[in-house]
Amino acid sequence: MKLPQEIIRDKRDGRPLADADIGDFIRGLTEERVTEGQAAAFAMAVFFRGLTLDERVALTRAMRDSGRVLAWDLPGPILDKHSTGGVGDTVSLVLAPLVAACGGFVPMISGRGLGHTGGTLDKLASIPGYDVAPGLDRFRAVVREAGCAIIGQTGDLAPADRRLYAIRDVTGTVESLDLITASILSKKLAAGLDGLVMDVKAGSGAFMAGIDEARDLGRSIVTVANAAGLPTRALLTDMDAPLASAAGNAVEVGYAVDYLTGRMRESRFHAVTLALAAEMLVLGNLAVDPHEAETRLRSALETGAAAEAFARMVATLGGPGDLLEGADRHLPRAPVIRPVVAAKTGTVEAVDTRAVGLAVIGLGGGRSRPQDDIDPRVGFTGLIRPGDRLNRGDPIGMVHAADDAAADRAEAALRSAYRIGEATPMERVAIIDRLG
């Protein structure tokens, strides 16, 4: 067994690491035989030197095996979707019950907000009574009963990832393609999936703003996942504007309810949701091709089966049983809600989507520090898109704020995020590429 410092030295000097050495290092990290300083040095060595495909697979498997690996006995495929994060990315809330309504089982382990992007877990935590951290036994029971469950990472699954990520977050190594790949996939492998679909975002609101770097990440995840035994595909999707017209926590839950019940289905959000869900059904052998899959998915929406699956998930995890009918009563509402109006007439040429996400944080809807509390009431609704035409005084969106001062700041930030002029922007397709 090599000493941790020898493993670090090998990677620092560009020598490939053996599977056994990677396994020893990750076990040491889990058992706290490897210090935080050594873990930081390892992460920095990987950041600069990179990992081969074999090393990425070995690191992913070692992190998976640092905790419990779930096994399922259910009458259907175990499927999941993971997004690299964006603004107004409400897809997980509607996709999990949509796939469940078509015969899949979706045990989705999601995260809190990261940087300027919203977190699925924070959105669900705005539902009164919803348990985002049940034990594994309850998690398994909810998946069996409702067909899906969206919860936070438990201490049993890939604990090495949690420790290494916390170290990466404060050492400037979060952006490592190798470490991102292992972090995402270790949790998905531990969840015992039969298939995974990745939603890799590109654009001003994505972590990987450039299409080429987003494509590199998608290819890395697909290649490593398949090599590790998890059938995986990826879609490269646009994040040059908020995906939904709502950005926040409770407001995005309300948006999801409107989508599932048919009160509002915006075309771009609908297209991305159906494309991702269709890939899941094909991976799970629930449809022969994406066309058949989309037909089944549209039926699940129109018959209300997807909405019913969502309602079962919410109620079984402790939320209100009538959320679909009474979202306005149950979801927290900001005391100040008012329009943000355009200062001039023109066409929306572009949106600084990252700035919109940061404005939500400024309202209290996200975290500047890990220990910060979140105000679930705040955010934006009714956000317009690039290419939309408006007159001076027309609303860009509605701000939901805790007080007038916060609303004033958010109003200024949102106006600054929108570039209004006379040019008509080139339309970006919602689905940029398919990988795998």
Q: Clarify whether 168 is annotated catalytic.
A: yes
Active site residue 112: no
Encode pLDDT of 341-386 as tens digits.
999 999 999 999 999 999 999 999 987 666 678 899 999 999 999 9
Catalytic residue flag (residue 80): yes
Instruction: Clarify whether 110 is annotated catalytic.
Output: no
Count of Cβ atoms closer than 10 Å to residue 136 Cβ: 15
Quick count: other Cβ atoms within 10 Å of Cβ 162? 19
Q: Hunting for tokens 């979060």 — which residue is that?
A: 174
Q: Which of 56, 123, 168, 219 is catalytic?
A: 168
Instruction: Answer yes or no: pTM beyond 0.85.
Output: yes
The one catalytic residue among 56, 81, 268, 400: 81
Looking at residue 428, its pLDDT comes to: 85
Domain ranges of the chain: 4-50, 79-327, 333-421
Is 120 part of the annotated catalytic residue set? yes
What is the per-residue pLDDT for 174? Answer: 79
* Active-site annotation holds for 137: no
Give me the catalytic one of 187, 268, 296, 330.
187
CATH 3.40.50.620 fits 4-50, yes or no: no
pLDDT digits (tens, 9 = 90+) for 68-127: 999 999 999 999 999 988 899 999 999 999 999 999 999 998 876 556 666 888 999 999
Give percent of the chain with pLDDT exceeding 90. Answer: 85
Q: Which residue in the list 123, 188, 215, 296 is annotated as catalytic?
A: 188
Sheet holding 79-83, edge to edge: 79-83, 195-202, 232-238, 431-435
- Of the candidates 247, 300, 198, 302, the one whose C-alpha atom is nearest the C-alpha of residue 90 is 247
Burial class (CB in 10 A: 0-12, 13-18, 19+), 238: buried
330 as an active site residue: the answer is no
CATH match for 333-421 among 3.30.70.260, 3.90.1170.30, 3.40.50.970, 3.90.870.10: 3.90.1170.30
Q: Taking Cα atoms as reference points, which of 259, 224, 262 lies closest to residue 244?
A: 259
Whether pLDDT at 209 is above 90: no
* pLDDT tens digits, one per residue of 131-169: 999 988 999 999 999 999 999 877 788 999 989 988 887
Choice among 30, 60, 66, 83 that is catalytic: 83
- Share the mean pLDDT of the chain: 94
Q: Are 252 and 215 in contact (CB under 8 A)?
A: no
Specify which residues 316 forms β-bridges with. Answer: none
* pLDDT computed for residue 302 by the predictor: 98
Where would I find the H helices in 31-154?
36-49, 53-64, 91-100, 120-124, 136-146
Our answer to whether residue 183 is catalytic in this structure is yes
- In 217-308, which ranges are E strands? 232-238, 247-248
Q: Give the percent of the chain with pLDDT over 70.
A: 97
**Residue 272 class from Cβ within 10 Å (0-12 exposed, 13-18 middle, 19+ buried)?**
buried
Give yes or no: 201 in active site.
no
How many Å apart are CA 311 and CA 93, to the nearest integer? Answer: 11
Q: What is the pLDDT of residue 156?
A: 85
For 383-436, write each residue's pLDDT tens digit.
999 999 999 999 999 999 999 999 999 999 999 999 999 988 888 899 999 998
**What architecture is domain 79-327?**
3-Layer(aba) Sandwich (3.40)
Fold matches, 4-50 and 79-327: no
